[in-house]
């Protein structure tokens, strides 16, 4: 089976080879603890995996992430798993290092405790290593439209206070913030109060950019979700993408990089051709699970088997508007309790992590 390249990539050219797939399910959610993932609806994930093309193009310009070393968290769940397995399961521990040794975003939700302290602690650990942390702000009211990642702030006022506390934890230090996965596409779909939600996001962009050191990317879904470019562009404009550093694609999903690249350029074109973007490649090495319908009683976007880790995080993309490939979804954490025995969204799942790593 042909597998995706997962080693670091640099320069003007990198290749992602996708797999010919085997069987069963597709993407994301967030637990009560601050874990990642977004609950993708049945019609949202792509149905047919396609090989990622060679990505090449003119040198990137105006990329705020260029030349940065992204933060590798030595206290993350994958690193903890490596330490636990090192003595008795060394071969498996070595596999999990494929995840533990990569820079991965840390998700900040509502949860318990002061959010400014959480943000401060993460950025402080990254600064001590001379690295750039990637955080996901994930607390929008009516989050995930009440699905596997349900939760979020109880009101608009609570969210405004929360995002200000988040920003207070930045303290003028460099950080990348992926702002509210799924929030804009859900507003376009109408499952939330669109105008009110987009106004909240615009406020959040302004608050985060006022820190003077945060690079902010508004989530815009993925290449197989919102197909009406005018509606998506309008929503992003109302969420003040112009004041942000760009938008994010494929968060917690499996769509191959080449499709997201093409889609991202189309979204950027609809925004006037100047908007930059980042792509989540954490689990897209084999693309999404082929086929349609639920698998074993659960949506096929949720904890699908047979997936691969994607291209390693890098800001050296060789693309004019693609600022970085990032691992925004943390590989090995559940997309949700979609079937009996599956962990809640955002919970570390060693068996699933090991399967991802062994195949990659």
Catalytic choice (30, 182, 240, 245): 182
Whether 359 and 351 have beta carbons less than 8 Å apart is answered as: no
The answer to whether residue 335 is catalytic is yes
The answer for residues whose C-beta is within 8 angstroms of residue 88's C-beta and 6 or more apart is none
**What is the residue whose two structure tokens read 């009211």?**
141
Residue 360 CA to residue 357 CA, distance in Å, equals 5
The one-character DSSP state at 151 is B
Q: Please write down the long-range contacts of 160-164, taking CB distance under 8 Å and 24 or more positions apart.
A: 160/200, 160/203, 162/110, 162/115, 163/137, 163/139, 163/203, 163/204, 163/207, 163/208, 164/207
The answer to whether residue 144 is catalytic is yes
Catalytic choice (219, 240, 323, 335): 335
Whether 336 and 35 have beta carbons less than 8 Å apart is answered as: no
Phi, psi (5° rounding) for residue 185? -60, -40
Handedness of CA 309, 311, 315, 317 (dihedral sign): negative
Query: How close are the terminal C-alpha atoms of the chain, in Å?
Result: 10
The answer to whether residue 182 is catalytic is yes
> DSSP labels for 275-328?
--EEEE-TT-TT-SPPSSS-BTTB-TTSS-TT----SPPBS----SSEEEEEB-
Catalytic choice (30, 73, 144, 323): 144
Element (H, E) at 122: helix 115-128
Nearest to 250 by CA among 270, 277, 290: 277
Whether 347 and 31 have beta carbons less than 8 Å apart is answered as: yes
Tell me which residues are annotated as active site. Answer: 144, 182, 335
């Amino acid at each position: 089976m042909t597998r995706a390249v997962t080693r670091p990539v640099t320069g003007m050219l990198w290749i992602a080879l996708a797999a010919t797939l085997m069987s069963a399910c597709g993407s994301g959610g967030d637990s009560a603890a601050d874990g990642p993932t977004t609950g993708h609806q049945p019609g949202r994930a792509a149905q047919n995996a396609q090989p990622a093309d060679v990505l090449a193009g003119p040198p990137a310009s105006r990329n705020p992430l260029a030349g940065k070393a992204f933060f590798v968290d030595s206290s993350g769940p994958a690193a903890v798993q490596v330490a636990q397995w090192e003595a008795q399961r060394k071969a498996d521990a070595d596999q999990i290092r494929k995840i533990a040794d990569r820079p991965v975003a840390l998700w900040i939700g509502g949860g318990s405790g002061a959010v400014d302290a959480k943000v401060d602690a993460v950025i402080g650990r990254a600064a001590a290593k001379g690295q750039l942390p990637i955080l996901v702000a994930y607390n929008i009211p009516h989050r995930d439209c009440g699905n596997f990642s349900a939760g979020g702030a109880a009101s608009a006022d609570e969210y405004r206070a929360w995002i200000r506390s988040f920003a207070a934890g930045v303290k003028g230090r460099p950080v990348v913030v992926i702002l509210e996965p799924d929030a804009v596409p859900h507003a376009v779909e109408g499952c939330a109060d669109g105008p009110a939600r987009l106004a909240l996001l615009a406020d959040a962009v302004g608050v985060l950019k006022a820190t003077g050191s945060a690079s902010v990317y508004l989530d815009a879904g993925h290449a197989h979700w919102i197909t009406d470019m005018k509606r998506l562009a309008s929503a992003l404009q109302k969420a003040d993408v112009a004041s942000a550093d760009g938008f994010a694609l494929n968060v917690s999903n499996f769509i191959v990089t080449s499709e997201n690249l093409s889609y991202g350029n189309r979204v950027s074109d609809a925004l006037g051709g100047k908007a930059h973007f980042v792509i989540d490649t954490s689990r897209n090495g084999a693309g999404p699970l082929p086929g349609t319908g639920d698998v074993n009683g659960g949506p096929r976007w949720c904890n699908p088997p047979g997936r691969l880790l994607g291209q390693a995080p890098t800001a050296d993309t060789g693309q004019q508007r693609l600022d970085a490939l990032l691992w925004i979804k943390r590989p090995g954490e559940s997309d949700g309790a979609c079937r009996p025995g599956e962990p809640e969204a955002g919970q570390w799942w060693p068996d699933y992590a090991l399967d991802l790593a062994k195949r990659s």
